[in-house]
Amino acid sequence: MFKIHIDNIDNEKLSDIILGMSQIPTQPIVPVHPGWRSKPDLDERFIEVLDSVDKILEPWDGDLKVECMWANVNRENDYNSSHNHKISIGKIEPLWAFTYYVKFQKNNGDLLFETERVVPEVGDLYIFPASIEHEVEPNLLKEPRISISGNVIKL
């Protein structure tokens, strides 16, 4: 797993955009996960996150591409049960997954990997193998936890 902190993204603006999007009801993508998820097709308003992921991955392998990206809003008591990102929206199985933290406070729900607990900060980007099981603890606060997640494939 890799952690990179990104300072040049306007997280307040992203937070406002995502909270506005979350007011429009959608069918849950993962019904066992309480909380709100956007469709996996975030647009140009999220280009800074996409560019950051691409820039970090480029030295590893120029044939990697972000396949899809979605926003997550976990309000009070919402959580994400254990899962991985091996399922693709396309025909190519993802190699990597990522999560970028737009809004987070202590007790918003730590990120748990198989062998590690992560307490994120706003601006943290985590990139990890898509096969790794991970979960998010329940949000114990009234303030939402907002993140952007995605999958990376090899072309």
Residue-by-residue pLDDT tens, the chain, 155 positions: 889 999 999 999 999 999 999 987 665 555 557 888 888 888 888 989 988 888 888 887 678 889 899 999 999 999 998 999 987 777 789 999 999 999 999 999 999 998 899 999 999 999 999 999 999 999 999 999 999 999 999 88
Q: Residue 39 is part of a domain; what is its CATH number?
A: 2.60.120.620
Per-residue pLDDT, 37:
87
Q: Measured between alpha carbons, how far is 137 from 109 in angstroms, rounded to an integer? A: 4
Which of 121, 129, 128, 127 shows the shortest CA–CA distance to 145? 121
Token reading at 99: 């999560």
Per-residue pLDDT, 30:
54
Q: Measured between alpha carbons, how far is 36 from 114 in angstroms, rounded to an integer? A: 24
What's the whole-model pTM score?
0.91
Q: Is there a contact between 98 and 6 (Cβ–Cβ < 8 Å)?
A: no
Q: Give the 3-state DSSP-derived string for 43-64, with helices as H, strands as E and coil as C.
A: CHHHHHHHHHHHHHHCCCCCCE
Number of domains in the chain: 1
Token reading at 107: 């007790």
Structural domain boundaries, residue 22: 2-154
Task: Starting at the earlier edge strand, list the strands of the sheet with 80-83.
Answer: 80-83, 134-136, 111-113, 117-118
Per-residue pLDDT, 10:
95
Which of 155, 152, 154 shows the shortest CA–CA distance to 69? 152
Provide the residue count of the chain: 155
